[in-house]
Amino acid sequence: MEISNKLKQLPTQFFATLVTKVNTAIEEGRDVINLGQGNPDQPTPSHIVEALQHAAADPKSHKYSPFSGTYEFKKAAADFYKREYNIEIDPNTEVAVLFGTKIGLVELPLAVMNERELMLLPDPGYPDYLSGVSLANVKYETMPLLEKNNFLPDYDVLTEEQKKNAKLLYLNYPNNPTGATADIPFFQDTVELAKQYNIGIVHDFAYGAIGFDGERPVSFLQADGAKEVGIELYTLSKTYNMAGWRVGFAVGNKKMIEAINLLQDHLFVSLFPAVQYAGAKALTSEQDCVDELMKLYEGRRNAFIQECKRIGWNVKAPKGSFFAWLPVPEKYSSEEFADLLLDKADVAVAAGKGFGEYGEGYIRVGLLVDEDRLVEAVQRIEKLEIF
């Protein structure tokens, strides 16, 4: 039996290809410093693990969860948004529980679009956005994220036809892969665009907790009227080192939330209740663990960027996320340079071209190894005498 035509049309999984290259090098016995991944390296805080252990032992957790998730977790998400961003969220109608936000990002076109309708995606951007495009059989066009525009889309360069035809528009700040951040005025412009052309906005807020230099990332929903036009997706993977737990949520526009919940009614019976209990504990407990994690990432960022500049690599420090977006020397493509670093320096990075056409000329580095290994990675690159 062959796989379906729909699966055949799916894009090649960029990260799977990257992992294969790295694993091959490791199997050869090489000491690879893997900076190509986006997998948090720190453990989940102990109070969250203990909450899961307690809930898992409770027979109430062994039954089916309510299809749309437990009220406790949805209330925790609403309380989190009120505490962190001063945004009122109705847990009954404005929260959708997700098996990690990747699920939400991929299923949204299926939930709110019809075949051949148009969505607008950032370029460079998270590669799995394209999985939703393929599964829903919709069209997409890209919005270039250029350094001269601080890696924000310029809505003025969108054609009138694109604006009129677009059904959904995806954003992601702090940004993967560029590390750029957005401000309230930009999000306000986004809301005005959405209202004028009836475009649904989806803000991927995966790195919402990770900002540097005293600048806290802002939520799209803090812009006036944002809930009228869109939703925001928040994951516990990055904020609380819960990547393997697969838990997140979407908040905002009631119609879009309703569509997600309806689709998921036919796909899932929500998350294991004990995971939702632990997720609620993470969102509502003291946030000291988050503060400590941000200090760790900022220290890594500072050490890495300082070392890059020391060897003559003209790089800029990211403002958010746990990624650095670094220019490639002119004589190389992004993939050629990434392959060179792996082959000659045993340093794995992600080629920018894997994130879209406008990712060419850059590589993405994850600040997800110890500070000394980040410094060592740059010292290995220095020995190649490229800079």
What number does CATH give the domain 63-284? 3.40.640.10
CB distance 251 to 283 below 8 Å: no
State phi, psi for 201 to the nearest 5 degrees.
-105, 135
Q: Is the dihedral of CA 28, 30, 35, 37 positive or negative?
A: positive
pLDDT(56) > 80: yes
Domain residue spans of the chain: 5-44+288-382, 63-284
* CB contact set of 20 (below 8 Å; sequence gap of 6+): none
Judged by DSSP in three states, 368 sits in coil
Query: Position 43: which residue type?
Result: P
Q: What is the pLDDT of residues 321-372, one digit of tens each?
A: 999 999 999 999 999 999 999 999 999 999 999 999 999 999 999 999 999 9
Q: Which residues of 138-173 are buried (b: 16+ CB within 10 A; e: fewer)?
A: bebebbebeeeeebbbebeebeeebbebbbbbbbbb
- Residue carrying structure tokens 């580095």: 365
Helix (H) or strand (E) holding 325: strand 323-327
> Is domain 5-44+288-382 classified as CATH 3.90.1150.10?
yes
Q: What is the pLDDT of residue 16?
A: 76
The Cα-based distances of 34 to 210, 229, 335, 345, 370 in angstroms read 21, 39, 16, 11, 11
pLDDT band for position 21 (cuts 50, 70, 90): confident
Structure tokens at 206: 């995966």
pLDDT band for position 12 (cuts 50, 70, 90): confident
Q: What is the pLDDT of residue 320?
A: 98
Judged by DSSP in three states, 266 sits in helix
Q: What is the pLDDT of residue 51?
A: 98
pLDDT(13) > 80: no
Taking residue 113's Cβ as centre, other Cβ atoms within 10 Å add up to 21
Cα–Cα dist 144/141, whole Å:
10
Q: What is the pLDDT of residue 17?
A: 78
pLDDT band for position 278 (cuts 50, 70, 90): very high
pLDDT band for position 176 (cuts 50, 70, 90): very high
Closest CA relative to residue 221, chosen from 27, 331, 82? 82
Cα–Cα dist 108/29, whole Å:
42
Taking residue 83's Cβ as centre, other Cβ atoms within 10 Å add up to 12
Calculate what percentage of the chain has a pLDDT beyond 70. 100
What predicted TM-score, i.e. pTM, was given to this entire model? 0.96
Helix (H) or strand (E) holding 309: helix 288-310
Mean pLDDT, range 203-217, rounded to an integer: 97
Cα–Cα dist 112/236, whole Å:
24
Judged by DSSP in three states, 384 sits in coil
Cα–Cα dist 332/340, whole Å:
9
Please state, rounded to an integer, the average pLDDT across all residues of the chain.
96
The Cα-based distances of 366 to 65, 94, 103, 177, 299 in angstroms read 35, 33, 22, 9, 13
pLDDT(14) > 80: no
Query: Position 326: which residue type?
Result: L
Q: What is the pLDDT of residue 18?
A: 81
